Homo-oligomer: A and B are copies of this chain.
Amino acid sequence: MQLLDVAAADFAARFDALVNARREADADVADAVRAIIARVRDEGDAALKDLTARFDKHDLDATGWRVEAAEMDAALAGLAPDLRAALELAADRIAAYHASQRPQDRDETDAAGVRLGARWNAVDAAGLYVPGGRAAYPSSVLMNAIPAKVAGVERIVIVTPTPGGEINPLVLAAAKIAGVSEVWRIGGAQAIAALAYGTERIAPVDVIVGPGNAWVAEAKRQLYGVVGIDMVAGPSEIVVVADGKNDPEWIAADLLSQAEHDPTSQSILFTDDDCFSGQVATAIERQIPLLGTSAVARESWDANGAIITVQSLEAAMPLVNRLAPEHLQLAVDDPDALFAKVRHAGSVFMGRMTPEAVGDYVAGPNHVLPTGRRARFSSGLSVLDFMKRTSFLALDRASLNAIGPAAVALANAEGLPAHANSVANRLGNGPANQGD
């Protein structure tokens, strides 16, 4: 953990280093991924069977390619009642929040008599990657699948690696609650390729979302354009802006809730109170050994944690904007005053009673958020990621006569005579059966 003080002579240099630090390793898997994609495209299911045997150590013909409906029903039925209620509360709140994201269609006629507008449609099919192992979170299934459902996507497909054939029942229960019935036991770059191009068994999709390892991320990048994809995801991060009136134990737990995700996660505290910064650092040291995730939290906090002392919390906000954090907690009495100065952040958690973790699960907004300073230019996952807009125009003779000559002039200036003809043909007083 680093301690920085905005008044120190070396602050600017140290803060620059913090902003520019790259916590993501560049895995050099591009060529290997390219080869996997080509095989799946050419050989379809045969390639999936072979690659799954090699990487996930099971035979798809033996374990089953697709998870049976009975297995999903059993997973849901086997949930402890409080967990089932929690997942259902989360699903309802996520659906309610995302329903308000559905965009409005437009259809209007302007002063020139030109009718113009835009209409939104859902994509036909969406694929959701669910990682195996440490990151197989049922909450992520809800956060990725429900916006697609709310958008109106008719077919939602989950792919997930099941090493040795084993699958997390919590993931299946969450899929069932989210209304997803098509789940395939495949993972890695081969699963992304199967979703993009389709195979004999698996129909292709239009958009692929969800987190994954370096192979999955590289496969999505290479297939971007063949399908739509969500933003590249990196290690998660939190910035907490807190005055000295907070309980240091609370803020310590908030910082550790990011640190426990992964050794590359990052937790940063800005405070205007020297005494408080020491109390939080002490509380963190006391809490870490008590966590079941202590090894990960330790490594993350030591390597990437920071406490930054500032002269005022307002003055911290330009620094926060440079970090453009995924999560930003404003633990003060008047968070709106600070929020007004936020330009770049994935999601903001306002006030002392809004820990980031409540947003990870049940609050409603999406927890798939831009990391690694990408909040400068991108947004959390939303209904819009599963929809697309078709613009439209309708002119009549009068409106074409009004604006068409300008189009003819520009087409000629650009050296495109058929463009000019296409408009010019219709100008003036044409035959009575055309367009009146």
Given contacts A253-B421, A393-B347, contact A358 B404 (CB under 8 A): yes
- B391 & A380 in contact (Cβ 8 Å cutoff): yes
Our pick among B96, B256, B355, B390 for the contact of A375 (Cβ within 8 Å) is B390
Residues 235-275 of A, flagged 1 when their CB comes within 8 A of B and 0 if not, give 00000000001110110011011011100000000000000
B382 near A378: Cβ-Cβ < 8 Å? no
State whether A256 and B418 are in contact (beta carbons under 8 Å apart), knowing that A343-B124, A374-B225, A376-B123 are contacts in the complex. yes
Given contacts A100-B106, A227-B377, A390-B347, contact A85 B291 (CB under 8 A): no
Kindly provide the distance from the CB of A293 to the nearest chain B CB, expressed in whole angstroms.
6
Does A377 contact B409, Cβ atoms closer than 8 Å?
Answer: no
B260 and A419 form a contact (CB under 8 A): yes
CB distance from A99 to the nearest CB of B (A): 12
Contacts of A348 in B (CB 8 A): 390-393
| Contact of A395 with B by CB under 8 A | yes
Residues of B with C-beta under 8 A to A253: 418, 421-422, 425
How far does the alpha carbon of A266 sit from the alpha carbon of B395 in the complex, in Å?
24
B380 touches A389 (CB 8 A): yes
Check B292–A363 contact: CB distance below 8 A. Answer: no
Q: Tell whether A163 is near chain B: CB-to-CB under 8 Å.
A: no
Say yes or no for A434: interface residue by CB 8 A criterion. yes
Interface check A186, CB cutoff 8 A: no
Please encode chain A, from 318 to 348, with 1 for each CB lying within 8 Å of some chain B CB and 0 for all others: 0000000000000000010001001111111
Of B116, B293, B382, the residue contacting A97 (CB under 8 A) is B116
Indicate whether A353 sits within 8 Å of B395 (C-beta atoms), given known contacts A121-B344, A224-B224, A410-B362: yes
Could you tell me how many residues of chain A have their Cβ less than 8 Å away from some Cβ of chain B?
Answer: 132
Instruction: Let me know if A6 is at the binding interface, CB within 8 A.
Output: no
Question: Is residue A164 within 8 Å, beta carbon to beta carbon, of the partner chain?
Answer: no
Q: Is the CB of A393 within 8 A of B354?
A: yes
Q: Return A303 CB to nearest CB of chain B, in Å.
A: 17
Indicate if the CB atoms of B422 and A257 lie closer than 8 Å.
yes
Q: Please state if A406 and B86 are interface contacts (CB–CB under 8 Å).
A: yes
Contacting chain B: which of A9-17, A51-59, A67-75, A87-95? Answer: A87-95
Q: Nearest Cβ distance between residue A395 and chain B, in whole angstroms?
A: 5
Over the window 194-222 of chain A, the binary record of Cβ atoms lying under 8 Å from chain B Cβ atoms (1 yes, 0 no) is 00000000000011000000000000010
B residues less than 8 Å from A417 (CB atoms): 260, 291-293
A388 to B369, CA, bound (A): 11
Query: Does A414 belong to the interface (CB within 8 Å)?
Result: yes
Instruction: For A392, give its contact among B30, B350, B353, B425 (CB under 8 Å).
Output: B350
Q: Does A118 contact B (CB under 8 A)?
A: yes
Say whether A376 contacts B206, CB under 8 Å.
yes
Q: Which residue of B lies closest to A120 (CB)?
A: B379
In-complex Cβ contact of A403 among B358, B370, B372 (8 A):
B358
**Beyond A291-B417, A354-B394: 12 further Cβ-contacts under 8 Å?**
A118-B365, A138-B413, A253-B421, A348-B392, A351-B396, A353-B399, A357-B422, A357-B423, A358-B404, A358-B423, A377-B388, A379-B389
Q: What are 18 A-B pairs with beta-carbon distances under 8 A?
A: A83-B413, A86-B407, A86-B413, A96-B110, A97-B116, A124-B376, A138-B410, A227-B377, A247-B431, A249-B425, A347-B391, A350-B393, A353-B400, A354-B393, A358-B393, A358-B404, A360-B411, A382-B389
